[in-house]
Each structure stands twice: as structure tokens, then as C-alpha cells.
Amino acid sequence: MSKRFGGRYSPGLGPQDDNRNPAPTPQIRHRLAGRPKYVTFAALPFLFGAFFQDPTGMAGSLAAFGVIASAMWMTGEGLAAEAAYQVRRVARRPAIPRKLFGSVMTGLGLGLGAAGPENLAGAGVIGATGMVLHWLAFGADPMRDKGIQAGGDFQQDRAQKMIDEAQTSLAQMQDAIRSLGDRWLEARVDRFAATVEALFDRVRSNPGDLSAARRYLGVYLTGARDATIKFADLYRQTRDPSVRTSYETFLDDLEKDFSAKSRRLLEGDRTDLDIEISVLRERLAREGVRASEPLPLEPPRTETARFIDELLTPERDKARR
């Protein structure tokens, strides 16, 4: 199905609108995301060769191809989860170790393909080798939380639950725009989504900001989703430029509000840091330490060190002294 592309020469858009065309948001993609499909292609001989065997061999070959293909799908999901984990400053480890399951399934598929009445031990060796090669090719799953302080699990869980609900609303908003087939609007909503993700990261790194950001993650984002769905339904029927302009202005204002909220949360962190520094200085002052006191040019030296220094100093240097 053809898609309407908004650009300089598209109907209904002028050069002034093309200047406001947002840069597309880069998609999160793991550098190894293309490898699983090659492993699936390499397993095609199991599929094609199954039809030239007896029923038992055919069932084993088909099962081998199916398990390997499923393992590569699981591995691809694990790579996508790892890519999302890597780009975030604060993230929890994936709840399901998908790449680990993909490794086990790869070994099982290779073992099924090599299994026979007389070579079960060899099939086991091939399966174990496949698991090791899978780990060398794709690596391991992230096994630790990143940027999350210990002891704040309850508050972190509350923040993550709120973020998950907000991400659902954001995804529904993006799906509604994609149904229009308008690349300009898709890029515009993706840019707004990147701004919202920045606020998500702020709340993940400091769950104490949840109360301050709750209205943005709940009421405002839910309202943006509902407005987007209504706009998509209306614009699909009318293609009215004024409706489109009103929606774009709405997105601009909403994006500014979310950006301003993220900045205020960051400024709040800086204020807390200044308070901590001032309190520490007051405590040091009470202990008799003054920040204005100059530090000695060299550390105090023992008598033995001074004696050795005198022995190693050339005579001409002593004369200069």
C-alpha cells in the first residue's frame, strides 16, 4: 500500500513547512541484530533434506529446523532487549534471559538434527558445541541492574510501574499516527516520544521525582494519546490542513512542557547537590578545617628523608642554596 510522503513538493505543504520537518529519531538496533537470520538460513538444509528421509528422520529434521528458527527469534528478541538496556542510563536487567534460552534451544536443535540410533553421544557433543558457539557469537544477557541504588526497590517498582503505563499510552499514540501513513507526522511524534523518554530516564534515575512527574506521566500523556487518536480518525476522513496544523501546534506545546519538566527535575538535583556541599563545608568548619586555608606545597618529610635528600643533592645545588 502506498504511503503519503510529506515534503517540499507534497500537496498541502509549502516550503515553510518543509523547514520545520523534524529529523527522524534513530531506531534502537543492536549491532548484531542481523546475525540470527543468517543462522536460520544456515539451518535450511534440515528443512529441505527432511523430505528425502524416512518418517523418523523427516520428523527429526523438521523439528531441528523449527527449534533453531525459534532459537534465532528468541535471540533476536534478546538482542533488542540488550540494545534498549545499553542506551538507557538507568535500566533493569531483562526479566527473561532470552539469549540464554536461545543458546539452549540452538544446542537442542543441532542435537536433534544430528541425533540417530547410533550417535547419541555425538549429537550431545554437537549440541554442546552449538551452545558455546552461540554464546561466542551473541554474548550473554545483561545480568545486573544499571544505575539503580540498592535498597530502593519498592520506590523503584512504583516508578517503573508508572513508566510502563506511560509507555503503553505513548505506543498507542505512535500506532494511531502510523495508521495515517504520513511519514512527516510519524517523525514528529517520534521526536515527541524521545522527549518523553528523557523524562522517563529522569524518573528511573531518581524515583523520588515520581510525585513531581506523576501528572505528566499520567494525565498529560493519557490526554495526548486520546487527542492523537481523535485527530487520526478525523484527519483520515477529511485531510483538513487546519486540523493538522492544530495538532502540530498541540505537539509543539506539549513537547516544550515535557522538556521544561525534565529541566526542572535536573535543576532540582543540582540544588540538592549544592545543599549537600554547603552542609559538608559547615561540618568541616566545625571540625576546624577551613576551605580557604592553602594546602602545603609539599608533604611533611621525616628526618631520614631529609638526610637522604641532602646526600643525593649535587654540591652545586647546595652552593646555590
Q: Note whether 132 and 178 are same-domain residues.
A: no
Mean pLDDT by 10 residues, the chain (321 residues): 45 42 58 88 89 86 92 92 77 84 93 81 90 91 72 68 85 89 88 84 72 79 88 89 89 85 67 56 62 48 51 51 49
Residue 130 included in any domain: yes
For the chain, the 3-state helix, strand and coil shares in percent, each to the nearest 5, are 75, 0, 25
Q: Note whether 66 and 103 are same-domain residues.
A: yes
Residue 65 included in any domain: yes
pLDDT at 105: 93
Q: Note whether 159 and 262 are same-domain residues.
A: yes
Q: Note whether 157 and 276 are same-domain residues.
A: yes
Residue 128 included in any domain: yes
Output the nine-digit C-alpha cell for 306.
Answer: 631529609
Q: Note whether 196 and 264 are same-domain residues.
A: yes
pLDDT at 316: 47
Q: DSSP secondary structure string, 169-225?
A: HHHHHHHHHHTTTBHHHHHHHHHHHHHHHHHHHHHHH-GGGHHHHHHIIIIIHHHHH
Residue 23 included in any domain: no
What's the rounded Cα separation, in Å, for the pair 271 and 273?
A: 5
Residue 120 included in any domain: yes
Q: How many CA atoms lie within 13 A of 238 on its CB side?
A: 11
What's the rounded Cα separation, in Å, for the pair 22 and 233?
A: 23
Q: DSSP secondary structure string, 46-66?
A: HHHHGGGS-HHHHHHHHHHHH
In the listed set 138, 170, 192, which residue is the last one of a domain according to the structure?
Answer: 138
In the listed set 138, 170, 187, which residue is the last one of a domain according to the structure?
Answer: 138
Q: Note whether 50 and 131 are same-domain residues.
A: yes
What's the rounded Cα separation, in Å, for the pair 268 and 35?
A: 44
Q: Note whether 129 and 176 are same-domain residues.
A: no
Q: Note whether 162 and 198 are same-domain residues.
A: yes
Alpha-helical (H) ranges within 88-182 are 98-114, 120-138, 153-178
Residue 293 included in any domain: no
Phi, psi for residue 146 in degrees, rounded to 5: -120, 125
pLDDT at 9: 42
Quote the domain boundaries for residue 77: 35-138
Q: Note whether 114 and 208 are same-domain residues.
A: no
Q: Note whether 125 and 237 are same-domain residues.
A: no
22: how many CB neighbours lie within 10 A of its CB?
16
Q: Note whether 173 and 270 are same-domain residues.
A: yes
Residue 50 included in any domain: yes
Residue 319 included in any domain: no
pTM of the model: 0.52
Per the structure, the count of domains in the chain is 2
Q: Note whether 279 and 197 are same-domain residues.
A: yes
